Amino acid sequence: MAITHVRPDDRLHLQSIASLFVAASKIVTVTGAGISTKAGIPDFRSRNGLYSLGHRRLFHSSVLSGPEGRPLFYSGITKMRKVVKLASPTRTHRFIASLRDAGKLVRDYTQNIDCLEEKAGLSTDLRKGPGSRSRLCRSRPRQVDCEPRLRDRGVECVLLHGSLRRLRCSNCFSTCCWDEDGREAKTLAGQEPPCPGCAELSEARTAAGKRATAIGTLRPDIVLYDEHDPRADSISAIARHDLLQRPDVLLIMGTSLATHGVKHLVRDFAKIVHRRAGKVVFVNLAEPARNWDGVIDYWVEWDCDTWVHDLTNRQPALCSGSMPRVRADSTGDGEHVNAMASPGYDRGQGSSRDNPIDLALS
Ligand SMILES: [Zn+2]
């Protein structure tokens, strides 16, 4: 089915979409750089995006393959991090958090590495796992509502391509704080700090008269184009869990859907949403490619923040703090769906995509 093109003056369809969000109980969101541009963080592909400014190579794994590229990578990414640290969440980030507060959000998946979702109050720690919408409420089936604090929400926002918050060891893969022990000054100067975990282990061994072990170097905890994400299995497990929740709306915002992993993620969720007679809404200034026909139902050609503003004007109940909470145990009728086996949502899988990421960086 062809995609319905919704322009800012298309009141009828904008109202239909707003009603869709009021009625929905399980919403999955997928976001990209377009939701962070209002925070002062440029995207990648627009006229003033990072690629047009000559930063394309910074995000390809080849930048780490030669000695001349590594200092540029470390200093360039650190400069971007300094800008990101000063940025605040946009109206769109806050809208996603309000969907969470209303119990409507199954999960937010973002390609951005700016971590503005965390500043909006969404948890991003993958170790929390998928959580459970009904775990603590099943024993009280007549209870209309459950306090959010009683639910095991798990990780609320999945950072598909990592984040600029921490550094990761290339040897032991543990992460550590970027802001301690002068690490940020080192990476800004193009240097690669040593891993404190590896160093501690090696020192303990030598103190015990044993052979010293290798000490890894730290790198930004982001996933570059053509790289395997060490967290890929965890992300795939959460996505499989969410497919089984049978979401009724998929909302995609501020992304051109160019990366391989995200294409798969969106197609998998769209199949489940359509099986429930739900809708897939795509909010982006650029038109989706023709091969998204039958996947996307509505293309809202609008800036994300402005659309969110319009949406909450049409349905004030969708404003933060005023949405009635959805029952925590409203996870559908228990019907199982055939979730796609081992979907690969990381960017390390071979593909013909021509660029790495839709990350919001500056
Ligand atoms: Zn290490």
CA–CA dist 226, 220 (Å, integer): 16
Model confidence at 68, pLDDT cuts 50, 70, 90, reads confident
Model confidence at 40, pLDDT cuts 50, 70, 90, reads confident
CB 158 within 8 A of CB 260: no
Separation of CA 232 and ligand 1 centre (Å): 19
Model confidence at 339, pLDDT cuts 50, 70, 90, reads very low
Is 304 annotated to bind a ligand? Reply is: no
C-alpha Rg value of the chain to the nearest Å: 21
CA–CA dist 142, 200 (Å, integer): 53
Is 198 annotated to bind a ligand? Reply is: yes
Tokens for 114?
């700016």
Closest CA to 304 of 22, 112, 80: 112
Is 169 annotated to bind a ligand? Reply is: yes
Closest CA to 23 of 318, 299, 309: 318
CATH architecture of 4-41+89-161+230-347: 3-Layer(aba) Sandwich (3.40)
Q: Which of 104-108, 224-228, 286-290, 353-357 has the lowest mean pLDDT?
A: 353-357
Q: Catalytic residues, which ones?
A: 161
Entry pTM = 0.84
Is 319 annotated to bind a ligand? Reply is: no
Helices (H), the chain: 11-23, 69-86, 91-101, 116-119, 183-188, 196-207, 232-244, 260-275, 304-314
CA–CA dist 284, 297 (Å, integer): 13
CA–CA dist 67, 72 (Å, integer): 10
- Which range of 149-163, 226-240, 309-323 scores highest in mean pLDDT? It is 226-240
Separation of CA 261 and ligand 1 centre (Å): 28
Element (H, E) at 320: none
Separation of CA 349 and ligand 1 centre (Å): 25
CB atoms within 10 A of CB 11: 11
Q: Is 138 exposed, middle or buried (0-12, 13-18, 19+ CB in 10 A)?
A: exposed
Separation of CA 125 and ligand 1 centre (Å): 20
